[in-house]
Amino acid sequence: MKHKWDTIGHLKQLVRIEKEIEDKTITHAYLFSGPKNVGKFRIARMFANILQCPNNLCHKCRDCKLIQSGSHPDIIVMPDKGDTITIDQVRDLIHKTNLTSQGKRRIIVIENIERMPIEAQNSFLKTLEEPPGDTIFLLTSTRINQVLPTIKSRTRRYFFYNIEDDVIRKYLIEKFGESSDIEEIIQIAQGRPGLAIQLMNQPVVLTDQRNVYNQIDFFLKKNDIVRKFMLVEELDKNAEQLEVFFDAFSRYLRKQLYVYLSQGDHSLKSRYSLKEIVELFESLEKTRYLIDRNTNKKLALENFLLQTEK
Ligand SMILES: [Zn+2]
CA of 180 to the centre of ligand 1 (A): 39
Centroid of ligand 1 to alpha carbon of 48 (angstroms): 12
154 and 237 belong to one structural domain: no
What is the pLDDT, as a whole number, of residue 105?
Answer: 85
Same domain, 287 and 250: yes
Q: Is residue 126 part of a domain?
A: yes
The reply to whether 29 and 147 lie within a common domain is: yes
Q: For residue 6, tell me if it sits in a domain.
A: no
Q: Are residues 76 and 24 in the same domain?
A: yes
- Same domain for 49 and 138, yes or no, is yes
Residues 48 and 152 in one domain: yes
What's the CATH code of the domain at 131? 3.40.50.300
CA of 103 to the centre of ligand 1 (A): 13
Is residue 3 included in any domain, yes or no? Answer: no
- What is the Å distance from ligand 1's center to 246 Cα? 42
Task: Say if residue 63 is in the same domain as residue 141.
Answer: yes
* Whether residue 183 is found in the same domain as residue 232: no
CA of 38 to the centre of ligand 1 (A): 26
State whether 172 and 266 are in the same domain.
no
Q: Report CA(19)–ligand 1 centroid distance (Å).
A: 19
Distance 93 CA to ligand 1 centre (A): 26
- The answer to the question of residue 37 being in a domain is yes
pLDDT for 103: 55
In a domain, 267, yes or no: yes
Residues with CB under 5 A from ligand 1 (ion): 53, 55, 58, 61, 64
Q: Does some domain include residue 5? A: no
- Compute, in angstroms, the gap from residue 65 CA to the centroid of ligand 1: 7
Is 2 within the bounds of a domain?
Answer: no
- Ligand 1 centroid to Cα of residue 161, in Å, is 30
Span from the CA of 50 to the centroid of ligand 1 (angstroms): 8
Q: Are residues 103 and 210 in the same domain?
A: no
Answer yes or no: do 81 and 191 share one domain.
Answer: no
User: What pLDDT does residue 269 have?
Assistant: 86
pLDDT for 162 equals 96
Distance 181 CA to ligand 1 centre (A): 37
Span from the CA of 100 to the centroid of ligand 1 (angstroms)? 21
Structural domain containing residue 195: 164-201
CA of 3 to the centre of ligand 1 (A): 12
- Asked if 140 and 95 sit in the same domain, the reply is yes
Q: What is the pLDDT along the chain (310 residues), one digit of tens a residue?
A: 888 888 899 999 999 999 999 999 999 999 999 999 999 999 999 999 999 998 878 889 999 999 889 899 899 999 999 899 999 999 999 888 877 655 568 999 999 999 999 999 999 998 898 887 789 999 999 999 999 999 999 999 999 999 999 999 999 999 999 999 999 999 999 999 999 999 999 999 999 999 999 999 999 999 999 999 999 999 999 988 999 999 999 999 999 999 998 988 888 888 999 999 999 999 999 999 899 877 899 999 999 999 999 8
Q: How many domains does the chain have?
A: 3
Per-residue three-class SS string for the chain: CCCCCCCCCCHHHHHHHHHHHHHCCCCCEEEEECCCCCCHHHHHHHHHHHHHCCCCCCCCCHHHHHHHCCCCCCEEEECCCCCCCCHHHHHHHHHHHHCCCCCCCEEEEECCHHHCCHHHHHHHHHHHHCCCCCEEEEEEECCHHHCCHHHHHCCEEEECCCCCHHHHHHHHHHHHCCCCCHHHHHHHHCCCHHHHHHHHHCHHHHHHHHHHHHHHHHHHHCCCHHHHHHHHHHHHHCHHHHHHHHHHHHHHHHHHHHHHHHHCCCCCCCCCCHHHHHHHHHHHHHHHHHHHCCCCHHHHHHHHHHCCCC
Is 101 contained in some domain? yes
